[in-house]
Amino acid sequence: MDNYFNNYTQSSKVFDFPTILYTDQDVTYLQRYVGTLRETADQGLNVVAQADQTTTDAQRFNLYYIKGYSYLLAGEYFLALPIENGGDVVGWEENLELAVSTFDESLDYAANDQDRAFIYTLMARACYRLGDKSRAVEYANQALGYSADFTRMVEFDGDHGFTSSIQGYLYGTNFQPLPRLDFLDPKYFQKESSTEARPICIAKAEEPYLILAEAALADGNLAQAKTYLHTLLELVDSRPVETGINDQLEERYNGGFKRYPDSSEYRVAASADDPLRNGLVLDRQSPNLIAIPYISGTSVTSDMIDDPTTVDQLLEVVYLMRQEIFIAEGRRVADLGIRLPVCETEAANTPSAEAYTTAQIPSFIPLNQGMDAFTMDEENKTVVITYNMNRVIVKNKSSEYVAPFFN
């Protein structure tokens, strides 16, 4: 996709084109991960908890939200998936509705306002993707009513071998960020030891604000959307920034496929029709150490929120903030309207899967690695990205694939 380019061959390179085949091993793995998540939660709820009278409400809360999260992932990223082991394949809408109802069940076991804010955010996220503006706004407001700055992280334990694979790709040299996102990379890094494993944020208060702003724009209310975005910007600016990160092994040419900018002298334009901007590329080479916002960061300024005079102009800012705030959290593919097919094994054994073996790649998505393309002038220290994909999203907002509140 456009956030990162795979500079190596340790994982599928064809997704960058994008080519997403139901025979691709990575599609199989991704489907199995989602199914394993669901089945693990079911085992805990229906077998272990039934047999163990000491099961706590906190444990039940975790199991219910894990099960709901599996449905959420199925509904956001796949055309369809089974909702039970050995069951028929059902469409993404039903998976998202199951996510909402399962999250609702988890609320019975929520221990505090942070838990409730977390769950209502996930419910808002599911309804957002469904295009259900009314419920999404309701749940987003409920989330912020419980906490206006919460985060929920998945923790890893590198000392005991429970590591995050995405950290290896990002802090290593496998994936190269789109030049306009260089200042946010690597979101997952190591400072203390070679076994340090950074947590991944799976929900945070930024999302309700983004949902509310987009809903306001869908209603044609620019002033209200700007109010939400200014509050969001204050929240993002309050998030922690890790300093003193050594990323000196990152040469922005590892793998040898194409050279990326490696100096803060570079100015970057989001497209040939956009202005060149400073501050998007960091100095990483020795002796420089870098600073990275590891929960949320953005290049958007107050002026960039205030200046737009049309819905489309401000909606593009919303999608830029979504791109930056959720970077490396696996969210961009859904915003681009891309959906994975069911895997080959599922298709061979489940008759209801037959209709879902071709990935959804909207016609407005540039092919042949176009989303990662840019031109770099090393003499004048400029980078011009070929496609401003946030503008592409906005131009196609009335399609069935993107900007759910507009179609």
On the CB side of 242, how many CA atoms lie within 13 Å of its CA? 17
**How far is it between the farthest Cα atoms of the chain?**
70
Amino acid, single-letter form, for residue 15: F
Cis omega before residue 287 (within 30°)?
yes
Is the Cβ–Cβ distance between 247 and 189 less than 8 Å? yes
**Cα separation of 235 and 207, whole Å?**
11
Among 177, 233, 171, 175, which Cα is nearest to 196's? 171
Domain ranges across the chain:
4-345+373-406
* C-alpha 262: how far from chain center: 25
Edge-to-edge order in the sheet of strand 267-269: 267-269, 382-385, 374-377
Burial track 219-247 (b if 16+ CB lie within 10 A, e otherwise)? eeebeebbbbbebbbebbeebeeeeebeb
pTM beyond 0.85: the answer is: yes
The CATH number of the domain covering residues in 4-345+373-406: 1.25.40
Is the Cβ–Cβ distance between 359 and 340 less than 8 Å? yes
Burial track 324-338 (b if 16+ CB lie within 10 A, e otherwise)? bbbbbbbbbbbbbbb
**Cα separation of 336 and 393, whole Å?**
7
pLDDT number for residue 250: 87
On the CB side of 233, how many CA atoms lie within 13 Å of its CA? 17
Cis omega before residue 18 (within 30°)?
yes
Amino acid, single-letter form, for residue 54: T
Which pLDDT tens digits describe the chain residue by residue (407 residues)?
Answer: 678 888 765 666 778 789 899 999 999 999 999 999 999 999 999 999 999 999 999 999 999 999 999 999 999 999 999 999 999 999 999 999 999 999 999 999 999 999 999 999 999 999 999 999 999 999 999 999 999 999 999 998 888 888 888 887 788 777 889 999 999 999 999 898 888 889 999 999 999 999 999 999 999 999 999 999 999 999 999 999 999 999 998 888 866 678 899 999 999 999 999 999 999 999 999 999 999 999 999 999 999 999 999 999 999 999 999 999 999 999 999 999 999 999 999 999 999 999 999 999 999 999 999 999 999 999 999 999 999 999 999 999 999 999 999 98
